[in-house]
Amino acid sequence: MANGGCHEKVHRWNPLQTFLAKGEGKEHGVALVILNQPLDSMKHVFQHLWSKAAVKIFVDGAVNRVASCFGEDLEEYVPDIVTGDFDSAQESLLDFYRRKGVDVCPTPDQDFTDFHKALLVLSKHITSHPQSKIDSIYVLGAFGGRLDHVLANVNVLYTLQASYPAAIFLMDEGNLTWLLNPGRHELAVKSGLEGEWCGLVPVGCPCESVTTSGLHWDLYASRMEMGGVISTSNRLARGEPDTVTVSCTHPLLWCMAVNVPPCDQ
């Protein structure tokens, strides 16, 4: 796209393709982070991502959630790293993972959330293992439970994404969210897994100008801010567009409904 004689970089996004990709394992460039939320309703999402992830991290009480969800099958779900301040994780489970050779990494600093610290641990892993080619991180259990925890997770996304070595996607069984930094973005929306609604919400500061295409209610050089216009309960345009485009001057949170099928479909 020409702009004053210069070509503006287009950021292309297709996170749902991971759920459609064939095969398992490291070729997908995926890391999976599990937070401390019940997994029963999103077990199928967990299993999809587990089969694709080259690196897996459980964050503190997530070890309890995985044990509760998978019970006798726990041996099949051994992560690469377990991290957190361990105020929630059962010590017997931490011992179990230590015996399995898992890197159990305490992060006691109380100035940051366990999720924030887990992403810093993962960033070091990515930079020290370039052969893993991690370019996408799926964070499961980012919503639900306490609202202050949800807002803290969004704050971590806002704080780290601009300088982080991989894209970060927040998920649960029906929601997918990621940050659009200033610039032009193309979002693939033709996977068949998209749900009924989507939205754009300014994060950290007002967005002075945002223009979209492919939405039922498109925006045209609109200013977005809390206390003013935000785009919620939007949806894809009629005719099932292949992409949604977003051009923004400041960070925006893209939110969308998703319908991930069971693993055997």
CA pair distance 173, 259, nearest whole angstrom: 8
Q: What is the pLDDT of residues 83-109, one digit of tens each?
A: 999 999 999 999 999 999 999 999 988
pTM above 0.85, yes or no: yes
238 burial via Cβ count (<10 Å: 0-12, 13-18, 19+): exposed
Question: What is the per-residue pLDDT for 25?
Answer: 56
Question: Which of 29, 2, 57 lies closest to 184 in space, CA to CA?
Answer: 2
Question: What is the per-residue pLDDT for 265?
Answer: 52
- Please report, in angstroms and rounded to a whole number, the separation of the first and last CA atoms in the chain: 39
Q: What is the pLDDT of residues 190-209, one digit of tens each?
A: 999 999 999 999 999 999 99
